[in-house]
Each structure stands twice: as structure tokens, then as C-alpha cells.
Amino acid sequence: MQQLTQKLGSGDMIIQDIPYPQLSKGFVIVKNHYSIISAGTEGSTVQAARKSLIGKAKERPQQVKQVLDTLKSQGPMQTYRAVMKKLDAYSPLGYSSAGEVIEVGEGVTEFKIGDKVACAGAGYANHAEVVAIPINLCVKLEDTSNLKHAAYNTLGAIAMQGVRQADMRLGETCVIIGLGLLGQLTALILKASGVNIIGIDVSEMALNQAVKNKAVDLGFTRNKSGLEEEIRLYTKGIGADTVIITAATSSLDPINFAGAVARKKGKVVILGDVPSGFNRNPFWYPKELELKMSCSYGPGRYDLNYEEKGIDYPVAYVRWTEKRNMQAFQELLSKKRIDIDYLTTHEFNFEAAPKAFDLVVNKTEPFTGIALKYNIEKTAIKDKVIISDPSKRGLINISFIGAGSYAQGSLLPYITPSKQIQKVGVLTNTGTTSKRVAEKFRFEYCATLEADIFNDKTDTLFIASRHDSHGSYVLKGLKSNKHVFVEKPLCLLETELNAIIHAQKKYNNTVMVGFNRRFSPLTQKIKNTLGSGPMTMIYRINAGYIPKDTWVQDPEIGGGRILGEVCHFIDYLTFINGSIPIKVSANALPDPLNLNDTVNILIQFENGSTGTIGYYANGSKSLSKEYVEIYASGTTAILSDFKALKIYGKRKPYKQKLINQNKGQKNMVETFLDSLLKGKPSPIDFNEIVAVTRASFKVLESIKNGGQQSEVFN
């Protein structure tokens, strides 16, 4: 299948073959008939991509700050890789489309194959022949629906949410600042509700279009003299009941002008991308104006449970969710209560999409809505996308499932293709990522189906997908007679762990977890100096805050931070002292969100060693992230952020400082591959992996039991 993509670094925009999208639980696969280009949101994205690096930096100061923070903590090499991954990635475009359902995922009951639907969501409703859409970002249409009109779904829902926030009554007056696509949709919806509309725009073309098609009752250009007086006269001296700002500008003029024309105790709703730093006087303070923000499509937006898991909000408590806003917009269209046909000023075949975006960026002629039309007679094929000619089998033949930021920055660069090591296939949730990774790291193909990966040619599987899929993929890998490297954690459920133990014993293939810190050169120095035996260990992690709605915190998807990250530190102490954990106790700081991400953990090991892990989400960002102290037989080792090491003993302290932080990823990957090439045991004993995973589960058990000690093997 084909999709429109752009590289953020060069701005190059192409339509290219990418893998067919994955059909996940709670999703449907839709063949697009139309998609709509958003001149505002997408236009600014495309313009930014075509700027120089300096221009990009000026547009995104927050991201520049993140780069500088990464440079400070991780060094230039990791920072360079992270930046280049962003710049080189194929970025999908589009977030509003309509088409026909051609596949239905597990658990989906409201859609069937053949249904006409309207779709929404950046990263979902892309400019592509076929898209995968979660059920709460997809609405069913009437068989007679005009799919070109329905493709305005996302923009209609955004406008609808602005109208909800305005909460206007029949006969009231609304001033809409900005008569682009979003402004005119807002005006049409409000007019259908019996609201009087005054439209304002800097563009005469936009104004004339809105007036001609009766989207507004009265329209003015912003530079018209006496504009405030005109609005006062039209409203019989009252002023606007509500002002909705749909413009996009860095100027403070819209917010201050809104204050000037709103009535006393009126309301201002920000729907567009404008600053909100209004002047207190002479209007906002004396009038006691109310300022409201409108968040995208409505309630449910950015909520993982709602958008990805399909968990709806009860209608009795949340009347208008983002999906219900979409449905309301589509109903206005189907019942012909609003007519948006005039908004589509240009239509391009999908193959000409780059030309359509040239029009948006260069503004060679006036436009409002731009529709892309797809060839619906074309059959969607699930073939893998070939990147290079098939190579001969090596001693190791590697395929990847999942290849996000971590895999691209910390795993793939260290797998050097050779006659002994061949890269076969890569499979990710997004076809754009699969395609770019396959090209950059020289895989034979990017896959569409799991069967493409679990074939006979692949004998070594790297799993770097989301945490909830690790356990099942490890099992599938073992059962298909493959060696498995899986990013931490090994799995999220004890039932999965038991099944993996059984499968590993049965098939006797290598299972390696990406516990990279034990492979750091500074860690190796500590190990060589202290050896094994009873020791006391302290590992403090200044982990930082991660919001509850992030997938890592979700117990079903990410497993939370104990299973998802603390397993790293349990493994580290296991490696350092040379024996497995046998008892665990843990206490978490009381947290209203119950995230269990500020916790003290005490571990007893088989050889008598003890370890304390302090994992803190409530610390200062200016403090280094990781700090380790090891005490053994008159010797003390202090490790700071995997950049600096001090070892105190009988003689002068040993000191070593690295230019760049080194957490051992390179050595880990190379050691793992070397063990396969030479037929050596796994670099991490499978029994240690099992013990560390069980100990992670027991940390959660101990927290739940108020800090009561739990035995790892019971």
C-alpha cells in the first residue's frame, strides 16, 4: 500500500510503498476514499520541515532544550543519534479521512466489513490508501453519505468542541476571529443552532467566501476602521456574547480584540493557535471576561484508555466525547443542516498529494479545503516491502519486532552486517517506521505480517516493541525455534513467565533480556575489583516524573515503572554480587495516583548480600539520574551516572571518568551476538533472568502488602 510521508530533516515529501497496517485489538482497517489536508496544522508542519536546521530550532525551542538536556546527560553520540533519528524518520501526514471498513479487529462489535466510516487522529487517519483506526476515533456513516464531506470529520469535531465550550443560546451573537477552514465550520455549526455570527479575518478572500456562502451574517476584515463600533451597533450596544478565536498567529491582537468586542461578563474561547497573554486593562478586567480553552476533538483526546483501548465515558456523565462530537457533525451533514460543499476549493488525486502541499506552502492561489481522492478500485495487498536483494543465510539471521527510538539508537547501530550476520525483516506498528528502519539499517524487507518474521530464514529475534507484547513474542520466538533477545521487561504477567520457563526448557534456545547496565565498562571494572561474595549495595535512581496517562505507566501496556524499569536495577545488583535475589520488601511513598514510582526496595540475595534500591520520581531534575555505592571487604565503589567511577581501598583511590555516558548497550549487543556465533552460553544466565523478573513481581506484591517481605521463590 502507499502512503504520503515527509522527512523532518530535508522536507522531502514522497508517496511510497510501506507495509500494510497492523490490525490490533479494538481497531478497524479502513480503505480511504478521501482525506482532507489541514492547511493550518499540516501546513505549518510541512513549512517547518522545509526550513534549515536553524529555522527548525527557532520554531521548536522546547525541543532544542530537550536536545541540550540529552547532550548534558548522555553525551554527544547518543544525542546525535536521537536527533538524526527524528530528522531522518518518515513522518506520516494527515488526520482526517473517510472510507470503507475492510477488516475488523478482535473485540470490535459496532463495525463490520463494508461499513462506510469517517476517521480521525494524527498517526491514524493518515494520507494513505489504507489506515488502522481505533474504534473511538471512527464513526459509522449512512450508506448514502457523501464521503468527501465526511472526510472533514476531524476538523468538524474540533469546531464542534469549540461550540460546546462556547455554550451559546438561541439568538445570541458570536464573533469568530479567523475564517479559515476551522472558522467557517464553527460558523456553520453555530448558525444551524440559531446563533448570530460576525466573522473577522485578515484575508478578504476568506471573508468574501464566508459571506457569499452565508456562513456568517456579517463580515469584516480586521483592518477595517471603526470595527469595534460596527460590532457594537450590530449587537444593539451589548457586544458579543462569545468570541471564538480560530486564527493561528503569534500576535496578541486576537485575544485583546476579543476583549474589546465581548460584552460585559462575556466569554472568549480559544480554538486556534494564539497566545493568551491578554492585557488586563482596558477590557478584560472591567468586563470580568471568561477565557476558555477548547481541547482538540473533545473529552477523550489524549486519553490512552479512551483512544487506544476503546473505553468509552458514560454518556450520563460525559455527554459529548470526541467520538460523539464526530457523530454530531456527521449528523449535521447527513441531514443537510449545514452545507460544506463550497469549502472544498481544490481536489487532487492521491498521487498528486505533494503538489497539493506545494499549493498549501507556497500559496500560489487562494484555497480553503483541499481534498485528496483515492483510487478505490485498487486492491490492498499485504505483501512485505522488499528493500534489498535477499542475501545468503549467515550464521546469524536477525529480524526485529518493534524498532522505536531505543532500538534505533541503542541496539541497531551495534549490529554490523557481515557474511556471518544477516538482517532479514523488521515489523513495527507503523509502516513508516518499518520502512525507514529497513532502509537505514539494511534489512532485506519490512514486514506486513508476523508470519513474515517467524519464517525459517530468521533464527534470531530481537523484540523491542511495547512491554505488553514481550511475553507473547518471546513465546512465539521460542516455539518457532529462534534465539530471542527481548528488551526489558521479559514479560508483564507471572503466567507468561511460567510459560516462557517451560518453553525455554523444552526448546533450549537462548533467551536474553536487554539488561545493558551490567555490560558497562565501569560496571566491569567494579566487578573485576570486588569479585563476588557478600556485599552491601545501594542504587539510587532519580527517575523523574512521568504522567499517569503515559503508556509506560499503564499497568496493562507498560506494566508501570517497577516492572518496566526497576527490573534493570535489580539485575544490576544481582550481577554485582554474583547471586540471585531470594527475598524482597518494598514501600512506596503515598501517592493519590497510585503510581508506585517513588519507592524504597530492600533485597536479600542468596549469598547473604543485601541491596537497597531507591527509585524516586519526586526529585530535582538538576540531580544526576543514577548513583551506585558498593561496599565489600574494606573496598567501596561509587558509580555516578555511568560516567564517573571511584574505588576506595587500601591504596590511593582509583578514579575513572568517561567523556560520554556508557550504559553498556554496545558491549551487550556484541557479546550476545558473539555468544551465538561461537555457540557459547547466553551472556546472562536464564536463571538470573527468571529470578530478576520474579523479584520485580514481588516488589509490587510487597508494596500491596504494606511492605511485608516476600520470598522470590515460593
| pLDDT tens, position by position, 643-671 | 999 999 988 999 999 998 999 999 999 99
Q: In this structure, which long-range contacts are made by residues 77-86, counting pairs with CB atoms below 8 Å and at least 24 apart in sequence?
A: 77/660, 78/409, 78/410, 78/660, 78/661, 81/408, 81/409, 81/413, 82/405, 82/409, 84/9, 85/405, 85/408, 85/409, 86/8, 86/9
| 42 assigned to some structural domain | yes
Phi, psi of 209 (to 5 degrees): -65, -45
Which residue, chain included where needed, has cell 467566501?
209
Q: Are residues 651 and 548 part of one domain?
A: yes
Using CA atoms, how far apart are residues 416 and 405, in angstroms rounded to an integer?
18
pLDDT-derived band of residue 78, with 50, 70 and 90 as boundaries?
low
The pLDDT of 95-111, averaged and rounded, is 97
Which residue, chain included where needed, has cell 515489523?
427
**Residue 635 bridge partners (DSSP):** 632
Closest CA to 402 of 384, 432, 427: 427
The per-residue pLDDT for range 453-475, each reduced to its tens digit, is 998 899 999 999 999 999 999 99
- Judged against a pLDDT cut of 60, whether residue 17 lies above it is answered with yes
pLDDT-derived band of residue 63, with 50, 70 and 90 as boundaries?
low
Q: Are residues 282 and 180 part of one domain?
A: yes
Q: Are residues 520 and 502 part of one domain?
A: no
Q: Are residues 121 and 73 part of one domain?
A: yes
Using CA atoms, how far apart are residues 139 and 585, in angstroms rounded to an integer?
48
Q: Are residues 539 and 447 part of one domain?
A: no
Phi, psi of 84 (to 5 degrees): -65, -30
C-alpha cell at 545: 516524573
- Judged against a pLDDT cut of 70, whether residue 161 lies above it is answered with yes
pLDDT-derived band of residue 706, with 50, 70 and 90 as boundaries?
very high
> Which CATH number does the domain housing residue 449 bear?
3.40.50.720
pLDDT of res. 64: 60
Closest CA to 525 of 633, 643, 409: 643
Q: Are residues 672 and 547 part of one domain?
A: yes
Q: Are residues 187 and 137 part of one domain?
A: no
Closest CA to 391 of 426, 428, 421, 427: 421
242: helix, coil or strand? Answer: strand
C-alpha cell at 347: 481536489
The per-residue pLDDT for range 327-354, each reduced to its tens digit, is 999 999 999 999 999 999 999 999 999 9
Q: Are residues 194 and 70 part of one domain?
A: no
Length of the chain: 714
The per-residue pLDDT for range 278-306, each reduced to its tens digit, is 999 999 999 999 999 999 999 999 999 99
Q: Are residues 215 and 119 part of one domain?
A: no
pLDDT of res. 85: 61
pLDDT of res. 417: 79
Q: Which residues of 444-469 are buried (b: 16+ CB within 10 A; e: fewer)?
A: bbbbbeeebbbeebbbbbbbbbbbbb
C-alpha cell at 423: 538482517
Closest CA to 384 of 449, 340, 293: 449
C-alpha cell at 165: 465550550
HSE toward the beta carbon, residue 631, CA cutoff 13 A: 6
Burial-class residue 362 by CB neighbours within 10 Å (0-12, 13-18, 19+).
exposed
| Single-letter code of the amino acid located at 246 | T
pLDDT-derived band of residue 50, with 50, 70 and 90 as boundaries?
low
pLDDT of res. 380: 85
In 10 A of CB 306, how many CB atoms?
Answer: 22
| 204 assigned to some structural domain | yes
HSE toward the beta carbon, residue 98, CA cutoff 13 A: 26
Q: Are residues 701 and 575 part of one domain?
A: yes
pLDDT of res. 51: 65
The per-residue pLDDT for range 373-409, each reduced to its tens digit, is 999 999 988 999 999 988 788 999 999 999 999 999 9
| 329 assigned to some structural domain | no
- Judged against a pLDDT cut of 90, whether residue 636 lies above it is answered with yes
Using CA atoms, how far apart are residues 297 and 155, in angstroms rounded to an integer?
8
The pLDDT of 576-601, averaged and rounded, is 95
C-alpha cell at 315: 454518556
Q: Are residues 576 and 626 part of one domain?
A: yes
pLDDT of res. 391: 79
pLDDT-derived band of residue 361, with 50, 70 and 90 as boundaries?
confident
Using CA atoms, how far apart are residues 639 and 654, in angstroms rounded to an integer?
12
Average per-residue pLDDT for the chain: 93
- Judged against a pLDDT cut of 60, whether residue 540 lies above it is answered with yes
Q: Are residues 431 and 288 part of one domain?
A: no
- Judged against a pLDDT cut of 80, whether residue 606 lies above it is answered with yes
Closest CA to 574 of 626, 611, 529: 611
* Contact between residue 170 and residue 195 where contact means Cβ atoms under 8 Å apart: yes
Domain count, the chain: 4
- Report helix angle 567-577 to 521-530, nearest 10: 40
The per-residue pLDDT for range 162-192, each reduced to its tens digit, is 999 999 999 999 999 999 999 999 999 999 9
Using CA atoms, how far apart are residues 174 and 158, in angstroms rounded to an integer?
17
The range of the structural domain enclosing residue 653 comes to 516-711
- Examine residue 282 and say whether the peptide bond preceding it is cis (omega within 30 degrees of 0): yes
Residue that is last in its domain, among 466, 482, 508: 508
The per-residue pLDDT for range 440-452, each reduced to its tens digit, is 999 999 999 999 9
CA dihedral 707, 469, 306, 334 (to 10 degrees): -170
> Which CATH number does the domain housing residue 79 bear?
3.90.180.10
| 226 assigned to some structural domain | yes
Using CA atoms, how far apart are residues 641 and 286, in angstroms rounded to an integer?
54
Residue that is last in its domain, among 508, 540, 560: 508
| 335 assigned to some structural domain | no
- Judged against a pLDDT cut of 70, whether residue 49 lies above it is answered with no
pLDDT of res. 73: 63
- Judged against a pLDDT cut of 70, whether residue 70 lies above it is answered with no
| 620 assigned to some structural domain | yes
More confident residue, 523 or 86: 523
- Judged against a pLDDT cut of 60, whether residue 271 lies above it is answered with yes
The per-residue pLDDT for range 192-250, each reduced to its tens digit, is 999 999 999 999 999 999 999 999 999 999 999 999 999 999 999 999 999 999 999 99
What CA–CA distances, in Å, run from 502 to 308, 478, 479, 508? 32, 10, 11, 10
| 493 assigned to some structural domain | yes
Closest CA to 371 of 683, 90, 152: 152
The pLDDT of 581-597, averaged and rounded, is 94
In 10 A of CB 147, how many CB atoms?
Answer: 21
Closest CA to 471 of 499, 449, 450, 444: 499
Residue that is last in its domain, among 293, 308, 331: 293
- Judged against a pLDDT cut of 60, whether residue 56 lies above it is answered with no
pLDDT of res. 10: 74
In 10 A of CB 416, how many CB atoms?
Answer: 11
| 561 assigned to some structural domain | yes
pLDDT of res. 328: 98
Question: Where does 167-296 have alpha helices with state H?
Answer: 181-192, 204-212, 227-234, 253-261, 285-287
In 10 A of CB 95, how many CB atoms?
Answer: 26
pLDDT of res. 592: 87
DSSP string, 356-370: HHHHHHH--S--SEE
Which residue, chain included where needed, has cell 472558522?
183
